[in-house]
C-alpha cells in the first residue's frame, strides 16, 4: 500500500487536475485521448481520501467539530458549533462511478467485477456520508441531471436511502468476491480481498448508525450485522485500515506538515481529550500533544502528566485568545508539524471496527462478550499510535510498550465494567481517544448518536440557535433551495415540520 501510494500520488494528482474537464481531455490532441476504468478508479479513491481529508487549516476544521482542537487565530464556526449548509457538489463522483462501470464492461470478468464493485462502494460511501448530514436527499434520481438533463431530482426518504446503501454494499461485496486484482488502486494495490474487508467493515459502520431502528423488519439491522460478522471478511488488523499514507515527496506530505503551512501556530488541544487521557493514565497524551511551556518553565518534566494543559473548547474566544497569549496550554505533538510523513490518516480503522463489535455485543446483536472486542480495540489503537510515531523524538520518553498496553487494559479506570450503560460510555470514549486527527467528524457523529463523549454547551459562545443545544444537521444546499425548492420543501415538510434548520431530528436519530 505505501509503495503504490508513493509512486502513484504525484502523477495521479496531475491527472486528476486534468480530469476536472473530461471534454477537454477527450478533445486535447496533446493530452490523454480517452478515460479508462483505471484512471477513474484512482480519481474516485483520491476524491474520498485525499480530497476529503484536506490540508492545513482545512484538515483541522473537522477536528474542531470533534472537540479535539481549538483555534487561536480567530473564532471558528467549526469550534463554536455553527453548521451552515451542506453541499451536493460532489455528486459528480457518482457520474464518474457510473462511467467507470460502463467502461469496464468490455474487460475480463474479474476486472469488470472489481471496477463495478468499487463503483457500488463509492456510491454507498458517498450517500451514507451525506445523508447523515442532511436526512432525506436525492438518491434514486441523484444523477438524472447528468444522464437525462433532469436538474430537479426528487428526495428519497432516509430510510429508503439506507436500504439502498445496504443493498449496494452487498453488491460490492459479492462483486469483489468474484473479482481479480485491478489497476488504479492507491490504497490496497488492487487487492480485492482487502476491498471486501473494507466494504463489509464499512457496512458494519452503517448498521451501527441504525441502532435505533432494530425493530424495523425492512432493515433487520441486528441480524444483518451478525451475518456479516459471521460470514464475511472484515478488518482483522491495522494493516487493513482504509488510510492514506504520506511521504517526504512534493504533494505527498502529511496534511499539517509545516512546509508552506502558515497555520501551524494556531492549534490548541482541548481539555475534552487531555483530561480523559490524564484520568486514564493514558500514554497517548505524550504522543498526541506537547507540554505547556509554562509548566516546563515551572520545573515540571515533559514526562509528567501535569505538564499537559487542555483548553475547554466552549470557552468564549476572548478567553481562548488570552490563554493562547499566556502559552499555558498544550499544542499538538511536533511530529504532526515536523515530520513530512506524519502518520497515515484513516477514514476507517481496525480499532474502530473492534469498538463497533464491542458495542454490538453490549446491544446483544452478536454472541461474543464485549470485553474481547473492547480490549482488542484498545490494543489496536495503542499499537497504531506507537507504530507511527518516531518514539525517540516525539513521545517524551513515555513508551507505549506491550507490557504497558496490557497493564492499561487491566487498570481499574479502563477495564470494561459489567454495567451495560457504563460499558457503552467506555467503548465510545476509547473510540474517541483513538481518532485524534483521524477519521474526520467521527467524534461529532458519535456524540450526536450516543451522547458520548460529553461536549460542554456554553450559551455565551455557542453559535447554534437555540444556544443551549448542539446542532444535529446541516441545512440543504443553497443551490437546491434556489433550483429545486419544490422537492426541498417536500423533504423538510416530511421530516422537520417545514423547517430547514440545524436542529431537525432526522429519521436515524428518532
Residue percentage of the chain with pLDDT more than 90: 90
- Can you tell me the mean pLDDT for 261-289? 98
pLDDT score, position 147: 60
Position 292 pLDDT exceeds 80? yes
Alpha-carbon gap, residue 113 to 224, rounded angstroms: 23
Residue whose grid cell is 451552515: 84
The string of pLDDT tens digits covering residues 354-378 is 999 999 999 999 988 999 999 999 9
SS3 238: helix
- Can you tell me the mean pLDDT for 157-175? 98
Position 227 pLDDT exceeds 90? yes
pLDDT score, position 8: 47
Side-chain-side CA neighbours of residue 327 (13 Å)? 6
Position 221 pLDDT exceeds 50? yes
- The H or E element spanning position 242 is strand 242-244
pLDDT score, position 490: 97
Integer distance in angstroms from the first to the last C-alpha of the chain? 40
- 391 against 467, higher pLDDT: 467
The string of pLDDT tens digits covering residues 323-363 is 999 999 999 999 999 999 999 999 999 999 999 999 999 99
Query: Which cell numbers in the block locate residue 508?
Result: 436515524
Render 276-316 in DSSP notation, one character per residue. HHHHTT-THHHHHB---HHHHHTT--TT-GGG---B-TTS-
pLDDT category, 10, cuts 50, 70, 90?
very low
The string of pLDDT tens digits covering residues 97-148 is 999 999 999 999 999 999 999 999 999 999 999 999 999 999 999 988 666 6
pLDDT score, position 257: 97
Amino acid at each position: 500500500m505505501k509503495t503504490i501510494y508513493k509512486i502513484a500520488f504525484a502523477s495521479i494528482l496531475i491527472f486528476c487536475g486534468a480530469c476536472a474537464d473530461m471534454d477537454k481531455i477527450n478533445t486535447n490532441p496533446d493530452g490523454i485521448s480517452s478515460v479508462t476504468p483505471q484512471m477513474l478508479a484512482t480519481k474516485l479513491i483520491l476524491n474520498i481520501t485525499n480530497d476529503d481529508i484536506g490540508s492545513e487549516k482545512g484538515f483541522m476544521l473537522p477536528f474542531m467539530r470533534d472537540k479535539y482542537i481549538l483555534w487561536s487565530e480567530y473564532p471558528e464556526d467549526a469550534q463554536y458549533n455553527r453548521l451552515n449548509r451542506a453541499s451536493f457538489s460532489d455528486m459528480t463522483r457518482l457520474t464518474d462511478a457510473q462511467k467507470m462501470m460502463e467502461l469496464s464492461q468490455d474487460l475480463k470478468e474479474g476486472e469488470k467485477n472489481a471496477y463495478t464493485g468499487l463503483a457500488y462502494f463509492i456510491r454507498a460511501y458517498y450517500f451514507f456520508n451525506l445523508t447523515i448530514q442532511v436526512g432525506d436527499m436525492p438518491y434514486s434520481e441523484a444523477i438524472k441531471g447528468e444522464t437525462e438533463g433532469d436538474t430537479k431530482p426528487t428526495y428519497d426518504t432516509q430510510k429508503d436511502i439506507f436500504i439502498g446503501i445496504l443493498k449496494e454494499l452487498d453488491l460490492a461485496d459479492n462483486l469483489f468476491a468474484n473479482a481479480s486484482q485491478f489497476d488504479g488502486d492507491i490504497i490496497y494495490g488492487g487487492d480485492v480481498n482487502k476491498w471486501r474487508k473494507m466494504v463489509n467493515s464499512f457496512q458494519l459502520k452503517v448498521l451501527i448508525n441504525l441502532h435505533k431502528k432494530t425493530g424495523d423488519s425492512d432493515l433487520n439491522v441486528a441480524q444483518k450485522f451478525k451475518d456479516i460478522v459471521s460470514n464475511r471478511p472484515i478488518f482483522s488488523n491495522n494493516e487493513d485500515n482504509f488510510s492514506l499514507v504520506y511521504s517526504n515527496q512534493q504533494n505527498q506530505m502529511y496534511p499539517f506538515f509545516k512546509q508552506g503551512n502558515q497555520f501551524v501556530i494556531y492549534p490548541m488541544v482541548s481539555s475534552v481529550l487531555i483530561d480523559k487521557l490524564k484520568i486514564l493514565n493514558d500514554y497517548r497524551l505524550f504522543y498526541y500533544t506537547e507540554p505547556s511551556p509554562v509548566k516546563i518553565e515551572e520545573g515540571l518534566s515533559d514526562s509528567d502528566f501535569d505538564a499537559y494543559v487542555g483548553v475547554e473548547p466552549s470557552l468564549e474566544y476572548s478567553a481562548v485568545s488570552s490563554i493562547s497569549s499566556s502559552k499555558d496550554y498544550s499544542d499538538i505533538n511536533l511530529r504532526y508539524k515536523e515530520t513530512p510523513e506524519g502518520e497515515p490518516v484513516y477514514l476507517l480503522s481496525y480499532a474502530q471496527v473492534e469498538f463497533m463489535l464491542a458495542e454490538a455485543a453490549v446491544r446483544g446483536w452478536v454472541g461474543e462478550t464485549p470485553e474481547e472486542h473492547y480490549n482488542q480495540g484498545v490494543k489496536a489503537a495503542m499499537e497504531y499510535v506507537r507504530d507511527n510515531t518516531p518514539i525517540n523524538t516525539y513521545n517524551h520518553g513515555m513508551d507505549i510498550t506491550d507490557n504497558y498496553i496490557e497493564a492499561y487494559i487491566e487498570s481499574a479506570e479502563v477495564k470494561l465494567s459489567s454495567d451495560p450503560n457504563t460499558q457503552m460510555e467506555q467503548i465510545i470514549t476509547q473510540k474517541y481517544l483513538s481518532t485524534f486527527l483521524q477519521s474526520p467528524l467521527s467524534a461529532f457523529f458519535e456524540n450526536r448518536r450516543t451522547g458520548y463523549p460529553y461536549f460542554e454547551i456554553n450559551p455565551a459562545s455557542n453559535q447554534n440557535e437555540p444556544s443551549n443545544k448542539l446542532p444535529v444537521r446541516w441545512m440543504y444546499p443553497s443551490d437546491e433551495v434556489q433550483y429545486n425548492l419544490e422537492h426541498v420543501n417536500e423533504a423538510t415538510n416530511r421530516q422537520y415540520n417545514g423547517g430547514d434548520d440545524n436542529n431537525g431530528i432526522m429519521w436515524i436519530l428518532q
